[in-house]
Amino acid sequence: MIDLHTHTLFSDGELLPSELVRRAEVKGYTAIALTDHVDPSNIDFILPRIVKVCKVLNRFWKIRAIPGVEITHAPVQQIKGLVRFARRHGAKVVVVHGETISEPVIPGTNRAAIEAGCDILAHPGIITKSDVELAGKRGVYLEITTRRNHSRTNKRLFKMAKKAGAKLVLDNDAHGEGDLVSRPRAIRILQGLGMTQLDIYQIFKNSEHIVKNKS
């Protein structure tokens, strides 16, 4: 299993980065990205510390810890600059908090994130057909999430992405150990969306591809 969207005590998660990574390793995960919430107020503080701890953990542990961020509720006009800043300062996986049905995310965030070339658009429940098509053209991965408050639009997103040829990843949006689902549980979730074995195989391969190219 791979999770490319997680949170630690640096934002609203429950655990220190080292503990979250260790607990993921024990659960059989091979890679995990630490993507704490950032905006213009804290990205310069949080990102260097995530980069530092990932370097340390990767020296000693088999699980791959990947430094990243989740740009969250930032002004639409600043998303592109924040994506660039994150990449320049060591973020290997740049996630943008998409327009979920459960939070008042600024309209236009999905489009701005895709145009900015983020790696993953997280739980983009309120997404248009044109934005899904653009994500497919730009190579931006759209996230199927196991997180309960965001997951009600997973089936809609899957159907739109499959029709448009956009790539999907499965993430937990993990805030603690209990959010790290097992592979059998992940497969059941994906089957519940109507995915075929080939669809499920591809979604796991997409995460592997990101890890291979970003870590």
Cα–Cα distance measured from residue 62 to residue 197, given in angstroms and rounded to the nearest whole number: 28
* Count of structural domains, the chain: 1
- Give buried/exposed letters for 122-151 (b at 16+ CB in 10 A, else e): bbbbbbeeebbbbbbeeebbbbbbbbeebb
Helix (H, G, I), strand (E, B) or coil at 153: helix
Q: How far, rounded to the nearest angstrom, does the alpha carbon of residue 102 sit from its chain's CA centroid? A: 17
Written as tens digits, the pLDDT of the chain (215 aa) is 999 999 999 999 999 999 999 999 999 999 999 999 999 999 999 999 999 999 999 999 999 999 999 999 999 999 999 999 999 999 999 999 999 999 999 999 999 999 999 999 999 999 999 999 999 999 999 999 999 889 999 999 999 999 999 999 999 999 999 999 999 999 999 999 999 999 999 999 999 999 999 76
Cα–Cα distance measured from residue 53 to residue 153, given in angstroms and rounded to the nearest whole number: 34
Full residue range of the structural domain in which residue 94 is found: 2-214
pLDDT of residue 215: 66
The domain that holds 131 is classified in CATH as: 3.20.20.140
**Phi and psi at residue 157, in whole multiples of 5°?**
-65, -45
Q: In what order do the strands lie in the sheet with 2-3?
A: 2-3, 31-38, 64-71, 93-97, 120-122, 141-145, 168-171
pLDDT of residue 214: 78
pLDDT of residue 42: 98
